[in-house]
Structure 1
Amino acid sequence: MGNNEDRSNSKRIVFVTVGTTCFDALVKAVDTQEVKETLSSKGYTDLLIQMGRGSYVPTKSSGEDGSLVVDYFTFSSSIADNLRSASLVISHAGSGSIFETLRLGKPLIVVVNEDLMDNHQSELAEELAERKHLFCARPQTLFQTIADMDLESLITYHPGDATPVAKLINKFLGFPDD
């Protein structure tokens, strides 16, 4: 892997989104040299980070030395285009971001924000990871998750049948299982 042939015409973008929140731990984790080198070794060419309300500013890179091209922005009226053009999405655990990414059939790593109290988001992410629709990580395990991920092991999420999700929501809300 990691060779630079046809790099110019075959961009493989990793899109990172924190939604409207502040999730500096995630932005810092993807901004580490080891994460960037691992993404590059897996054939990704660009890293685009949507950093939301965060104060940590990632390091931009033009990629001229053969490394990952890195860019960032704070907010966008719609990240749908970013999701569509991505080869891999690394997202916070917001259900909107998760389901929008899965609906587009994109490989997804969900990073759980452990600073949030009463974190139902982590339960959703872990349940979907158990069903092999996505990978679930914490900021401190993101590097290992990327290094170990096998995209072939993921199962496409089909949103047609809402029953499993409805049962999951009912379980979290404490309703009896029908």
Structure 2
Amino acid sequence: MGHGGKVFVTVGTTLFDALITAVDTQECKAALARQGYSSLVLQIGRGSYLPSKDDVGGLLKVDFFTFSPDLKEHLSSADLVISHAGSGSIFETLRMGKPLIVVVNEALMDNHQAELAEELAAQKYLLYASPGTLLKTITKMDLDSLVPYKPSNPAALVKSLNSFLGFHDD
């Protein structure tokens, strides 16, 4: 079950209408409301798709904006974050200890972001979805199964990522 409160969706500075469109469906909003969330705030970036502010029968208040000089306020007040797969957004959210669903932009070529998100999901730091699987992920999510992220030695992280990506130390 969800933990209630505010859901914050961010695409950062990217153009990722597929994520905003996926969250903006009545089915997705209803799933968030069933999980106990009462507020949905979407940061839509450079996208051209404008989400509906329909409130799903009074159960989920919806709002959106394009950019903010500082997303930390939105992240810190969120009870669940749904984010694009940018490493900065991922690690900032994890360092704040927020439950996170990372949605990968399948339209990107050579998508190293997907590899990072898959690896962090395998380690149970976050949940991983695509725009097409987001509804199912929200419906079935168990946030209590996530492991708290503890920032480590940056050199160890680089070594681990290099190994995962197939780069070897000489």
| Band of TM-score, shorter chain | over 0.9
* d(CA) in 1 for partners of 2:167, 2:135: 37
TM-superposition CA deviations, 1:122-177 (whole Å, max 9, x none): 00000000000000000000000001110110000000333552123323664315
Structure 2 residue corresponding to 1:52, chosen from 45, 53, 61: 45
Amino-acid identity (%): 63
* d(CA) in 2 for partners of 1:172, 1:85: 33
Alignment: residue pair count? 170
Unpaired runs of 5+ residues, structure 2, are none
Structure 2 residue corresponding to 1:40, chosen from 20, 33, 36: 33
Aligned equivalent of 1:109: 101
* d(CA) in 1 for partners of 2:156, 2:129: 23
Q: Indicate the SS of the match to 2:102.
A: strand
Asked if 1:92 is matched to 2:84, the reply is: yes
* d(CA) in 2 for partners of 1:173, 1:136: 18
Unpaired runs of 5+ residues, structure 1, are 3-10
* TM-score normalized with structure 2 length: 0.93
> Does the C-alpha gap of structure 1 residues 89 and 162 become closer, same or farther in structure 2, counting only changes over 3 Å?
same
Aligned equivalent of 2:139: 147
Structure 1 residue corresponding to 2:111, chosen from 102, 119, 122: 119
TM-superposition CA deviations, 1:34-71 (whole Å, max 9, x none): 1100100111000000000000000013x494221010
> Does the C-alpha gap of structure 1 residues 34 and 176 become closer, same or farther in structure 2, counting only changes over 3 Å?
same
Structure 2 residue corresponding to 1:130, chosen from 109, 122, 129: 122
TM-superposition CA deviations, 1:87-139 (whole Å, max 9, x none): 00000000000000000000000000011111000000000000000000000
* d(CA) in 1 for partners of 2:159, 2:152: 14
Q: Indicate the SS of the match to 2:8.
A: strand
Name the structure, 1 or 2, with higher relative contact order (CA <8 Å, separation 6+): 2
Aligned equivalent of 1:24: 17
Asked if 1:158 is matched to 2:150, the reply is: yes
* d(CA) in 2 for partners of 1:41, 1:31: 15
Preserved contact between residue 102 and residue 127 of structure 2 (Cα < 8 Å): yes
Q: Which amino acid aligns with 1:100?
A: E
> Does the C-alpha gap of structure 1 residues 51 and 64 become closer, same or farther in structure 2, counting only changes over 3 Å?
closer
Aligned equivalent of 1:68: 60
* TM-score normalized with structure 1 length: 0.89
Runs of 4+ in 1 over 4 A off after TM superposition: none
RMSD: 2.1
* d(CA) in 2 for partners of 1:102, 1:64: 29
